[in-house]
Amino acid sequence: MAMRDIEIDLAGTRFDFLGSSRLLGDAIADALRQNGGVAATADEASLIVALHPLGPQAEAADLLPDLQRHGERFAAGLGGRLVLVLSAAASVPMRRHPAHSANAAMAWAGMRTLAMALAPKVLVNAVGAGFVEEAGQVLAGDPVMPGHAGLQRPGRVADLVNAVLFLADPANTYTTGQLLNVDGGWTVGYGRNF
Amino acid sequence: MRCDLDGRVAFVTGAAGAIGSAIAKKLADSNGAVVIADINLDGAEALAATLPNALAVRVDIRDAGAVEAAVAATLERFGRLDILVNNAGVNTFAHRVTIDQFPAEEWERITSIDLDGLYLMSRAALQPMLAGGGGRIVNIASVVGMAAMRLQSAFVAAKAGIIHLTRAMALELGPRGIAVNAIAPGSIMTEGTRKLFYGADGTFAGRTAEFMQHIPLGRPGTPEEVAEAVLFLSSPAAAYISGQLLPVDGGWTAGFSV
């Protein structure tokens, strides 16, 4: 069988999710299992992937109190990982989506403070989703995004899943408090020829 | 992480140095063919001899002719160039002074390698990449290009330049199939940082604990930890990531820890 894009060795790490997004959550869970992770309840897990609202239409949420609670448990014990998936609008607010932009930015700032507070035993990072479409279904972002991006196509679920695996990788040990946008370059600047 | 670069050809500058050699080894371990480019040919050859599919070339990235010759040597040996890792860079050790005292020759030396050299190298490597229909560029910036620091103004300016150039390159080259990203290492344990911070007789020896208070993970990083991020951004797994800056800094730039 061909190698997947990325393989990591979770070696039985127990993981769980916070937040909703069925399709994305299922894809991440499958990938974590294929890489040696074991699904568990949040209270048993040492790797938590939190899915923040990714679309402008989604209801605002605040996952930070739960992340903090679990992170403090990791920090008091054997350590762990928190990976937040949030909207790339955290780093570039959108005029048409003020509440969504603000909610995402709050999650980003909260993620950064958690990383500082929970170090060194807990690593906390985020993936920033641009426009993601799979089988005609919009899973994240706004269809206008690729118009400003260097890579002028929608992102796929696999693109987000690969970034989550990278940040969950036990061999990736010196990055914390960071947001990695997976957005084709939407947050980079102005995709115009002048 | 493990991934399969499937014989893709990676050109790594500064590849005889601590971080560069860790990057070259990591890419080679993932089934990449690697060009070990360095101004120190002996060091490049010594590393290349330990890798299964590597070519050592001497290149001074300030010299446009030498850069083009190194790319030509790459094409002669491997027939293609898919990944460029712009890792070569220098900082100042002897002149840790404020900008009003900063020697012009030292400014020129640092910016000509760190920023101008990266431009010359990218321009030359892009020709075969564009002809081949796509590729990746990973620029090694620094956390000081994000958060300014004292006593190294040339390095700070050059590294900030690299970060923003990365974004401009991503916008220009994305439509032509090339993703461009940057990594910002924090303090990485190398011979150079030993001379400054971590060695008993380092310039700032005795102040390491004070320095580490700003780094949530409380320790310097290793070249291998930087290489891990380079591999990810060079791999098929990162196909939709472009123009991004990924710090590998122990949380230094997450915020103010003190």
**A172/B229 CB distance under 8 A:** yes
A93-128 residue pLDDT tens:
999 999 999 999 999 999 999 999 999 999 999 999
Give the distance between the most distant pair of CA atoms in chain A. 54
Supply the DSSP symbol for B83.
E
ipTM of the complex: 0.95
Mean pLDDT per 10-residue segment, chain A (194 residues): 83 94 90 98 97 90 95 98 97 96 97 98 98 94 94 96 98 98 96 88
* pLDDT for B229 beyond 90: yes
- Name chain B contacts of A175, Cβ cutoff 8 Å: 225, 229, 246-249
Beta bridge partners of B86: B139
Among the partner residues B221, B248, B254, nearest to A115 by beta-carbon distance: B254
Residues in B closer than 8 angstroms to A8, CB to CB, are 1-2
How many other C-beta atoms are found inside a 10 Å radius of the C-beta of residue B119? 17
The residues that bridge with A14 in the sheet, in sequence order, are: A38
Q: Do A152 and B174 touch (CB under 8 A)?
A: yes
Task: Indicate if the pLDDT at residue B236 is higher than 90.
Answer: yes
- Indicate yes or no: CB of A182 within 8 angstroms of CB of B240: yes
Q: Do A6 and B1 touch (CB under 8 A)?
A: yes
CATH architecture, range A14-182: 3-Layer(aba) Sandwich (3.40)
A174 vs B241, B243, B248: nearest CB: B248
B43 in reach of chain A (CB within 8 A): no
Task: Report the CATH fold assignment for B9-186+221-248.
Answer: Rossmann fold (3.40.50)
Q: How confident is the model at residue A1, as a pLDDT?
A: 43
Query: Which residues in chain A (98-137) have CB-CB distances under 8 A to chain B?
Result: 112-113, 115-116, 119-120, 130
Chain A interface, mutation test: which of B228, B241, B249, most A Cβ atoms within 10 Å?
Answer: B241
Q: Is A174 within 8 Å of B221 when comparing Cβ atoms?
A: yes
Whether B7 contacts chain A with CB within 8 A: no
User: Domain-by-domain residue ranges, chain B?
Assistant: 9-186+221-248
Give the distance from residue A151's alpha carbon to the nearest chain B alpha carbon, in angstroms.
5
Q: What is the DSSP letter of B57?
A: E
- On the question of pLDDT at B141 being above 70, the answer is yes
Residue with tokens 């860790």: B22
Pairing of strands A47-51, A14-19: parallel
**How would DSSP label each residue in B153-217?**
HHHHHHHHHHHHHHHHHHHHHGGGTEEEEEEEE-SB-SHHHIIIIISTT-TTTT-HHHHHTTSTT
Structure-model confidence comparison of residues A43 and B192, the more confident one:
A43
Domain ranges for chain A: 14-182
Distance from CA of B106 to the nearest CA of A (A): 31
Q: Which of the residues B240, B248, B256, B257 would you substitute to probe the A interface, choosing the one with the greatest number of A C-beta atoms within 10 Å?
A: B240
Between chains, do B225 and A172 touch, taking CB under 8 Å as contact? yes
- Do the beta carbons of residue A129 and residue A135 sit within 8 Å? no
* DSSP three-state, residue A160: helix
Q: Does B232 touch chain A (CB under 8 A)?
A: yes
In angstroms, the CA A111 to CA B208 distance is: 27
| Cβ atoms B241, A158 nearer than 8 A | no
Q: Given this model, what pLDDT does residue A80 score?
A: 98
Give the three-class secondary structure for B85.
strand
Sheet hosting strand A122-129, strand order edge to edge: A38-39, A14-19, A47-51, A80-87, A122-129, A179-182
Helix (H) or strand (E) holding B74: helix B64-78
C-alpha to C-alpha distances, A120 to A108, A124, B109, B219, nearest whole angstrom: 19, 10, 37, 9
B8-26: average pLDDT: 98
The answer to whether A34 faces chain B, any CB pair under 8 Å, is no
* Alpha helices by DSSP H, chain A: 22-34, 64-76, 98-118, 157-168
Taking the CA atoms of A143, A149, A153 and A159 in sequence, report the sign of the dihedral they define: negative
For the segment B28-34, the average pLDDT, to the nearest whole number, is 98
Taking the C-alpha atoms of residue B186 and residue B137, their distance in angstroms, rounded to an integer, is 20
Give tens-digit pLDDT for B155-191.
999 999 999 999 999 999 999 999 999 999 999 999 8
